[in-house]
Structure 1
Amino acid sequence: MFSALDVDIRPGSGLGIFELGSSLWSIIELLRGMQNEFPQVDVKFDIDSPTTPIIIHVRPHLDLLFSEYQQRLHTIVLKRFRDVPPVMIRFKDKVLLGPDQILRRVDVSRAVGPTYEGEELRYSGVWFSFDEHAVQSQDQNQEIKTITVTQHNGQDRDALEEVLECPVMCGDIARAVAKVHKGVILHFYPTTTSEPFFVEIGATTVQDLSIELGPPPKIYYREDDRMRIHSRQRTNDDEDDDSSCKNFCNYFQHGVDFLISGATHTVRKIILHTNIPGSPLFHRYQRCPWEIEGVPEDDEDDSPPSVKFTEGAEKIRRFLQPRENPPHMPLNRTDDEEGLNLPSPITRLWGFDGVILEVAEPGQQVVSLTLF
């Protein structure tokens, strides 16, 4: 015996447990915690694009569409109401559809109100659609087949537009500006009132991170030492001895890792994750919308050159090092993951002065940016 999927419609805001503007990472985490209620979930995307729209299909009733750049829940589609489990739909204090009911045009008009004539019943933030193969009709008993919830903005929202800023984003990173050899400036939602936080390499402490970002969800007490063989020879004058205990502060919900020096307890490295679909690190981190800021032309330059993760590895390479290709090496992240099969498990590490790019193959998409 299956219990009904009970959802309430909130035009311009959400449907059931799903809030428009939520991040892809947070929605997948939510679904992973409710596997009994949602046992079948598919993630669909274009593997050749770093800014592909992503659809989560929660069988059999829901399609959740996420925006390209910020990976935010843009549109919710509810359909196949009679499939198991059956759907119960509410609007405010009214039940529009139950297991033994049919949702009709007249039911929507009575509950939501009148609207303009057309092939669908369209309201601000929600519309109700009929069978696409049915002849257009104004029959009041015509059955509703699909409900779509999207944001208010006075007009239809384009599937390729970014989500408008909304309360569910509060506290998330809106923009991360990386400064080579210096650190990263984190800008948060709400963008009009939040103060940016500058994480400075060699100066920002663990306590500073905890005050500004809260305690990290995970602390990883062992650095991956496999890259040390490629490092320059260290001297006794180095401030941070490699033999000191170090740890990573993992902020999965922000898409950022910080390597903390065991000697000084300050930030030594910063890793910004792009959350590229199909890559080995997909869904471990929320997308951090980063960009690299260049050197201003003069002291009065208020808009220094910059390059965003969406512009691809080759353009970022030319921005960082225009004259020659950087040294690079392959990395297979599935070496430590038995039973994990991916279409393209190999990434490449491109080394620059103060920067490492992890680049997915094929597609030349930057999976992560490391500042040190």
Structure 2
Amino acid sequence: MISALDCDVRPGSGLGIFELGTSLWNILDLLRRLQHSFPQVDIKYDTDASSTTPIILHVRPHLDLLFSGKQQRLHTIVVRKLRFGDPPVTLRYKDVVLSSPEEVLKRVFISRTFGPTYPPPGDDLRADLRYPGVWFSFEEDGMGDGLKGIQSEDRMQEVKRVIISQKEQDGEDRDALGELVECPAMDGEIARAIVKVHEGVTFYFHPVAAAQAIHVVIGETTAQDLTLDLGPPNRVHYKEDDRMTIHSTARANENSEPAYFYNYFQHGVDFLLSPTHVVTKIILHSNIPGSPLFQRYKRCNWEIEGTPEDDEDDTPPRKRFYDRFETISHFLSPRDPPPSMLLDRTDDEEAMTLPSATTRLHGYDGIILEVSESSQVVAVMLF
């Protein structure tokens, strides 16, 4: 039997174990570890814009979690079916029980608990009650249809949904599908990864104003450097798959020690290290919904930096993870794209079935792009 959900409401911050600003990767990992409490989770997104689509997790029966399209961070939390569904849900604000199977949350109780609030746009006194970071809806509609108002002014009107989002800045309404303002849940995570072909990657972390950049240089940075800068990896994986060596012109040394990977799933990055413990390759993952590697890695917000037009240009051109393959390919090489190799990552996963399981590997001088059938770059390999 699933225990009841008892959640504290934190306006502008979160609900229970869910904190606004947390990454999609972290939330799904959390839900996977708590399957006894959250046994059914549905993922919805726009397949036509998979790299920038907002993602909704339906955590049945009570929660809708909306994630921003580019950052893939928890943007909005919706609690619905307050008095129905299994398990039952109890909502608390500070030391006050707002809603439970025995307590019906009504309009008049909201006003008593939270006090007065500004009138809604257009002075519609029948509309949902909004406070900074939380608002209360009297409709059963889905998350995308929730700003329509109610049909009566009954003080005993029952609340049907509670919505939690970041507080507006400077009195401006927050875009329901926009990106989040930097918040504590992001601290210590990669904000940007600037790729320089033939050199390496520069990582910038949250909080952006205080964090120092970390430079990983191919052929120079060591395993010890990575551990000091990024902490120990989630996994150390020894490279046993040598199928690509058939395309190499160099003679393989069968007696040499194996290379190995440092996998940082929480940063969306892999590093291949030589037997002498030096970084030889860097792989950055885009975490595109629907791709074979979705949710194995957190999204790494990578940007490929080009050559500045002159020495005084401090804004060199860049292409980002959400740019289409054709745009990035022309940026790397104005000529026609090089021949590609077909890769099916489900070959080794018999239980995995995806509508678009195959990707293509496009190689350039110093960089390889792994591209989906919809022209989204799902991973970048720098060597």
Fold similarity call, TM over 0.5: yes
- Which range moved further: 222-231 or 129-138? 129-138
Q: CA deviation at 1:58?
A: 0.0
Matching residue's letter, 1:58? V
Counterpart residue number, 1:16? 16
Q: CA deviation at 1:301?
A: 1.7
Distance of 1:115 and 1:229 partners within structure 2: 69
Select which of 122, 130, 137 maps to 2:152: 137
Distance of 2:85 and 2:174 partners within structure 1: 28
Asked whether the equivalents of residues 4 and 99 of structure 1 are also in contact (C-alpha less than 8 Å), the reply is no
Residues 197-232 of structure 1 show CA distances to partners (whole Å, capped at 9, x for unaligned) of 010000000011001100001000124211111123
Distance of 1:293 and 1:55 partners within structure 2: 32
Select which of 314, 321, 338 maps to 1:302: 314
Residues 173-213 of structure 1 show CA distances to partners (whole Å, capped at 9, x for unaligned) of 00000000100000000000100001000000001100110
| Distance change >3 Å, CA 135–CA 315, structure 1 → 2 | closer
Counterpart residue number, 1:202? 219
Please show how residues 110-189 of structure 1 align to structure 2 within 5 Å: 110-117=112-119, 118=125, 119-131=127-139, 135-153=150-168, 154-189=171-206
Matching residue's letter, 1:170? D
Asked whether the equivalents of residues 40 and 59 of structure 2 are also in contact (C-alpha less than 8 Å), the reply is yes
| Distance change >3 Å, CA 10–CA 235, structure 1 → 2 | closer
| Distance change >3 Å, CA 78–CA 330, structure 1 → 2 | same
Q: Give the match's secondary structure for 1:25.
A: helix
For normalisation by structure 2, the TM-score amounts to 0.92
Distance of 2:355 and 2:252 partners within structure 1: 42
Please show how residues 1-372 of structure 1 align to structure 2 within 5 Å: 2-49=2-49, 50-81=51-82, 82-117=84-119, 118=125, 119-131=127-139, 135-153=150-168, 154-233=171-250, 243-262=256-275, 264-361=276-373, 363-372=374-383
Matching residue's letter, 1:159? A
Asked whether the equivalents of residues 138 and 150 of structure 2 are also in contact (C-alpha less than 8 Å), the reply is no
Asked whether the equivalents of residues 324 and 375 of structure 2 are also in contact (C-alpha less than 8 Å), the reply is yes
For normalisation by structure 1, the TM-score amounts to 0.95
Q: CA deviation at 1:97?
A: 1.1
Residues 323-346 of structure 1 show CA distances to partners (whole Å, capped at 9, x for unaligned) of 122121100000000121001110
Asked whether the equivalents of residues 287 and 378 of structure 2 are also in contact (C-alpha less than 8 Å), the reply is yes
Q: Give the match's secondary structure for 2:347.
A: helix
> What is the aligned length?
366
Gaps of 5+ in 1: none
Q: CA deviation at 1:234?
A: 5.2
Residues 65-107 of structure 1 show CA distances to partners (whole Å, capped at 9, x for unaligned) of 0001110000000001122211101001101112112110111
Percent sequence identity is 61
Residues 294-316 of structure 1 show CA distances to partners (whole Å, capped at 9, x for unaligned) of 11222222111111111111100
Matching residue's letter, 1:115? T
Gaps of 5+ in 2: 120-124, 142-148
